[in-house]
Amino acid sequence: MKLIGMLDSPYVRRVAISARLMGVALEHESVSVFRHMDRFSAINPLIKAPTLICDDGGILMDSTLILDHVEAHADATRRLTPVDGPARQQALYRVGVALVAMEKAVQWYYEIALRPETKRWDDWITRISQQLQRAFELLEVALPAEGWFGGDHMDSADVACAVAWRFTHFVLPGKLDAATFPRIAAHSARAEALPEFLACPLE
């Protein structure tokens, strides 16, 4: 299977790291949805990252759907999402919160980096910045003082949370005070030191 997209996308990076943690080999091809539009369009006419080219040549998109497929190829002992029960519901909820953080960080970044200043809407920026702040507040409260969401090992929520935090501080430096989120900051530092994260740096 081949993963298409740049690691500066939190969604692409989430898939790349998760696959490594689960021991599922993905070939990675760095193709930008901005700089390589024609090349990306030839792979996926919707030009959406991440895109996964499956073994049979079919394509999947959206990080959550891709990871559902990848988990099906992983050994049961290495899968990141609990199979059922309260643990699964909690993991899915926390992944959802982290995905909101990613989405709002992307939207905020696009507003200040891509949209002309005269076209910006301050009320919209205020709204998405508050949603971003609230998402991390929910994750901060939910994180255990020690260890991972998954207990003694990372789960899908741990990956999503760490990736969202690193991306936010990468594209929006100084916009969030790390001191306000000590558990997430420590969680992110532990995660980013792991070989699976180091192998997938922001580009």
For 169-178, how does the pLDDT look when each residue is reduced to its tens digit (9 = 90+)? 999 999 999 9
Partners of residue 156 on adjacent β-strands: none
For 92-125, how does the pLDDT look when each residue is reduced to its tens digit (9 = 90+)? 999 999 999 999 999 999 999 989 988 989 999 9
Helices (H), 6-84: 10-22, 37-43, 63-72
Residue 50: cis peptide before it, omega within 30 degrees of 0: yes
For 5-15, how does the pLDDT look when each residue is reduced to its tens digit (9 = 90+)? 999 999 999 99
Partners of residue 60 on adjacent β-strands: 52
- Alpha-carbon separation of residue 42 from 9, 36, 150, 191 (angstroms): 20, 10, 39, 35
Paired tokens of 134: 């609230």
The predicted model gives 117-135 an average pLDDT of 95
Paired tokens of 169: 């501080």
> The whole model's pTM is what?
0.95
Where does the pLDDT of residue 72 fall: very low under 50, low under 70, confident under 90, or very high at 90 and above? very high
Residue 84 has pLDDT above 80, yes or no: yes
Within the chain, strands assigned E span: 2-4, 27-29, 51-53, 59-61
pLDDT for 14 equals 98
Partners of residue 51 on adjacent β-strands: 4, 61
